[in-house]
Each structure stands twice: as C-alpha cells, then as structure tokens.
Amino acid sequence: MVEDRITDGKRIGQLLASELTGLDRGPLSTVSVVDADPDVEPVLEGGLAYRITAGETSVGEVHVTPETARLALSTTVRPDLPEHAAVTVEQTESGTVLVAHSGAAVKQLVGVVEQLLERAD
C-alpha cells in the first residue's frame, strides 16, 4: 500500500503545530503555538505561520513556503539529527533553520524541539 506524501508547506506546518500541542510529555508539556495565522500564504521567502513558546521562552518561528515548513530556532545551537534525517539544516546569520520537505519530517522537528528544551533545563 502506497501512502500519499504530504509536500504542501502549509499542511506540513499545520501537522507540526498539531503534534507540538497534542503531546503532553516531558518538556513538550509546556509548548504552545502562539500568534497563529490560519490564513498564511505559503510564499517563496516563507510566510510566518506561528511562533512556538515553552512557558515564557521563545523556541522559534514556523514559516511556510509552497513546498516546505521552516522552523527558525531562537538559538544558534545545531541540533543532533540522525544521519539520514528527513530534515535539512541551514545556518543563517540569525540562527539555525530546520527545513521539513514532507509531513514525515514533522516527527524529527518535534524531536529537535524536545531535545532543545531538555538541554535548556
């Protein structure tokens, strides 16, 4: 059985928000999606879909393009990812950006957020 691969950036961003707010374990129990724009337009430079916080701490922002969801972290720390990750990492002047090219990458993004919050404790 072949499943459809989700490659719509806005939908990937929605899946990430759902996963982050639906998990109530460990450090993820404090995560919130704030300033969400349900009508965000996925544009090439990335439309701001929402911000992620943990308590009072900013974790990052999610921007959507037509084909990706981009998690711009509020830290410059490069997260640990598996060797064959479904997420690509970009280092920019303002920090680390994780790019999800499919819905399958959402689990890895959630893992990164959890990893960063555990390190912060």
pLDDT digits (tens, 9 = 90+) for 80-115: 887 777 899 998 888 899 999 999 999 999 999 999
When divided into structural domains, the chain yields a total of 1
* H-helix or E-strand spanning residue 54: strand 47-54
Q: How many helices (H) and strands (E) does the chain have?
A: 2, 6
38 is in which domain, residue-wise? 9-120
Question: Mean pLDDT, the chain, as a whole number?
Answer: 90
**2-29: b (≥16 Cβ within 10 Å) or e:** eeeebebbbebbbbbbebbeeeeeebbe
pLDDT above 90: percentage of residues in the chain? 67
Backbone angles phi, psi at 22, to 5 degrees: -90, -15
Enter the pTM of the model: 0.91
Q: Bigger pLDDT: 65 or 1? A: 65
The verdict on residue 59 lying in a domain is yes
Q: Quote the crossing angle between the two packed helices 106-120 and 9-22, to the nearest 10°.
A: 50
The verdict on residue 38 lying in a domain is yes
The verdict on residue 89 lying in a domain is yes
Q: What is the CATH number of the domain that holds 51?
A: 3.90.1150
The verdict on residue 4 lying in a domain is no
The verdict on residue 110 lying in a domain is yes
Structure tokens at 68: 């990706």
The verdict on residue 2 lying in a domain is no
The verdict on residue 69 lying in a domain is yes
The verdict on residue 27 lying in a domain is yes
Structure tokens at 73: 């972290």
Instruction: Choose the weakest-confidence range: 39-43, 57-61, 80-84.
Output: 80-84
CA–CA gap between residue 75 and residue 68 (Å, rounded): 21
CA–CA gap between residue 33 and residue 15 (Å, rounded): 12
3-state secondary structure of 52: strand
